[in-house]
């Protein structure tokens, strides 16, 4: 039961108009007030909860991956800096720690023989000391062109790094004298790296020399 807001007449439930004055009866709405609606808990679907739960582990995984990549790059940069610091002629520490053989390995003789052939410009003899794989990677004409301006090369230091039954790795520090074609003057440079030898037909042959520039020697 209610009352008409216009004339005060008692109104039965369900009527839309007052039976006395004909005024429209306002119907009361059921439900929560705006304040209560605001306080009501928000119900999320299971799919939304699952998506939210997956985002956190994914973000953590990406952060860990980025950290690992940064650490790897930093390690590589540190090794490069260490190589530059050791250009004075001392064997890099990482090579010394890896040494598993003495200096009298037969491949050392092959290295010295190769350098002697280069210094005497006996290109065919020097080229014959390269392995089959080495000759495939560097044809004879390219080999002679690479060494054509060389005036002399000396092994300042060499150290056996690791030995296998049919191959060996040797750290080499070279000083090379080259003719500058433009100025026609002699220039001296240092190179270092790992030279790998393989055994072919009972002889130790050079293959995959990984040499890198160290510095220019100024008089």
Residue with the bigger pLDDT between 55 and 211: it is 211
- Domain borders along the chain are 96-217
Question: Any residues with CB less than 8 A from the CB of 197 and at least 6 apart, and which?
Answer: 107, 110, 111, 131, 167, 168, 169, 170, 204, 205, 206, 207
Query: If you classify domain 96-217 with CATH, what class do you get?
Result: alpha beta
Residue 142, classed as helix, strand or coil, is helix
Report the mean per-residue pLDDT for the chain: 77
- pLDDT per position as a tens digit, 92-151: 444 433 333 345 799 999 999 999 999 999 999 999 999 998 898 899 999 999 999 999
Q: Which string of b and e fits 2-35 if b means at least 16 CB within 10 Å?
A: eebeeeeeebeeeeeebeeeeeebeeeeeeeeee
pLDDT at 71 over 60: yes
The pLDDT value given to residue 46? 53
**What's the confidence (pLDDT) of residue 217?**
92
pTM of the predicted model as reported, rounded to 2 decimal places = 0.55
Q: Using 50, 70 and 90 to split pLDDT, how confident is the model at 157?
A: very high
DSSP assignment of 72-128, as one string? HHHHHHHHHHHHHHTTTSSPPHHHHHH--S-S--HHHHHHHHHHHHHHTT-HHHHHH
pLDDT of residue 31: 46
User: Is the per-residue pLDDT at 66 higher than 50?
Assistant: yes
Q: Which of 22-36, 118-132, 172-186 has the lowest mean pLDDT?
A: 22-36
């Amino acid at each position: 039961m209610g009352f008409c807001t216009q004339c005060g007449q008692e109104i039965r439930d369900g009527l839309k108009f007052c039976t006395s004055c004909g005024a429209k009866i306002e119907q009361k709405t059921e439900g929560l007030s705006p304040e209560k609606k605001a306080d009501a808990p928000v119900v999320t679907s299971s799919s939304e909860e699952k998506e939210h739960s997956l985002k956190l582990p994914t973000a953590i995984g990406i952060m860990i991956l980025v950290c690992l990549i940064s650490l790897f790059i930093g390690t590589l940069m540190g090794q490069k800096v260490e190589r530059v610091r050791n250009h004075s002629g001392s064997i890099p520490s990482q090579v010394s720690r890896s040494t598993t053989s003495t200096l009298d390995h037969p491949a050392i003789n092959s290295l010295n023989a190769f350098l002697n052939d280069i210094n005497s410009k006996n290109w065919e003899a020097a080229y014959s000391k390269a392995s089959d794989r080495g000759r495939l990677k560097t044809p004879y004409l390219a080999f002679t062109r690479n060494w054509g301006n060389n005036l002399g090369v000396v092994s300042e230091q060499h150290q056996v790094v690791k030995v296998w039954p049919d191959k060996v790795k040797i750290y080499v520090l070279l000083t090379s004298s080259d003719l500058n074609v433009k100025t026609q003057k002699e220039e001296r440079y240092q190179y270092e790296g790992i030279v790998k030898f393989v055994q072919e037909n009972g002889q130790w042959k050079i293959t995959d020399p990984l040499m890198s520039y160290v510095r220019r020697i100024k008089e």
